[in-house]
């Protein structure tokens, strides 16, 4: 069975410092993996997705994620945090049987000035 | 910017009332979804549709029902609201290409409170 674990419920970083949001998954098959972002009072937006092409995936707003099969991880990173990055981030895996999405519990990213 | 709309954005209603949450998209997407999200928690799929006249239940049991009479419209109905239905409801849509990695586009959500 597929599952997604986001290892931190909250991450707090200072503006201008690197961001690391951790995600581990379990899947019986080669998964598709996504990161979505949810800003307050706004709809969820796709940041990036992995679909068995390049293992390092670049997304919008300077974010990127690396698929590591041996570690079953898909961590999200950004070299330098900006105040506008403050939001909730969800790691998602696509189920193989009917392509439904399994969502992680989310990580709230807090940016300190 | 995704063209998917939900109304109302906020709803406070008494126990036993019938409610319908509206969702419309203008992207011509075949597949549509309803998710339930409690504060600080993951999304749970409650209904989805592959296209007109198609409706399926998701992995979270729900007392709600849905219909898909038009491609662009996917309303969710609760016949008799209860306090346990208090939550945020998110509507989404995607192209149905049969590919595992179809991106979903989300509406802003409806925050429902049942008193």
Please tell me the distance in Å from A112's CA to the nearest CA on chain B.
Answer: 20
Token look-up 């075949």 returns B30
Which pLDDT does position A96 carry in this prediction? 61
Average pLDDT value for residue range A38-54: 85
By the 8 A CB rule, do A35 and A92 touch?
yes
Task: Look at residue A97 and tell me whether its pLDDT is greater than 90.
Answer: no
Tokens 């410092």 appear where?
Answer: A17
What tokens appear for B6 in the block? 């939900």
Give B70-89 pLDDT, tens digit per residue.
999 999 999 999 999 999 99
* pLDDT for position B56: 92
Is A96 at the interface with chain B, CB within 8 A?
Answer: yes
pLDDT at B8: 96
Between B30 and A52, where is the model more confident? B30
Q: Which residue has the tokens 């945090």?
A: A81
Q: Does A84 touch chain B (CB under 8 A)?
A: no
Q: Does B27 touch chain A (CB under 8 A)?
A: no
A103 and B CB contact within 8 Å? yes
Q: Which residue of chain A has the CA closest to B50?
A: A98
Confidence label for A27 from pLDDT (cuts 50, 70 and 90): confident
What integer pLDDT is reported at residue A88 of this predicted model?
95
Q: Which two tokens stand for residue B68?
A: 């898909």
pLDDT above 80 (res A44): yes
Of B84, B38, B43, B92, nearest to B64 by C-alpha is: B84
- Report the alpha-carbon distance of residue B25 to residue A66 in Å, rounded: 32
**Could you say which residues of chain B have pLDDT below 70?**
1-2, 98-101
Report helix, strand or coil for A40.
Answer: coil
Say if CB A93 and CB A27 are below 8 A apart.
Answer: yes
Residue with tokens 């098959």: A29
Strand partners, B84: none
pLDDT tens figures, A53-63: 788 999 999 99
Q: What is the mean pLDDT of residues A25-35?
A: 83
What value does the mean pLDDT take over residues A97-109?
84
Please compute the mean of the pLDDT values over residues A9-29 and round it to a whole number.
93
């Amino acid at each position: 069975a597929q599952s997604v674990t986001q290892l931190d419920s909250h991450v707090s970083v200072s503006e201008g410092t690197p961001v690391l949001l951790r995600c581990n998954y379990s899947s019986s098959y080669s998964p598709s993996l996504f990161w979505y972002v949810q800003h307050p009072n706004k709809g969820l937006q796709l940041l990036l997705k992995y679909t068995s092409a390049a293992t390092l995936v670049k997304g919008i707003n300077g974010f990127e994620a690396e698929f590591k099969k041996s570690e079953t991880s898909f961590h999200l990173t950004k070299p330098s945090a900006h105040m506008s990055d403050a939001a909730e981030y969800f790691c998602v895996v696509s189920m193989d049987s009917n392509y439904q999405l399994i969502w992680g519990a989310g990580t709230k990213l807090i940016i300190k000035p | 910017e995704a063209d998917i709309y939900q109304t109302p954005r906020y709803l406070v209603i008494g126990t036993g009332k019938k409610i319908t949450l509206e969702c419309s998209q203008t992207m011509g997407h075949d597949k549509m979804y309803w998710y339930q999200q409690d504060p600080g928690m993951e999304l749970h799929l409650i209904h989805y549709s592959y296209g007109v006249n198609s409706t399926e239940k998701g992995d979270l049991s729900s007392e709600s029902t849905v219909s898909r009479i038009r491609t662009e419209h996917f309303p969710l109905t609760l016949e008799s609201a209860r306090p346990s239905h208090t939550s945020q409801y998110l509507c989404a849509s995607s192209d149905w290409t049969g590919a595992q990695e179809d991106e979903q586009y989300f509406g802003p959500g409806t925050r429902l409170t049942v008193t």
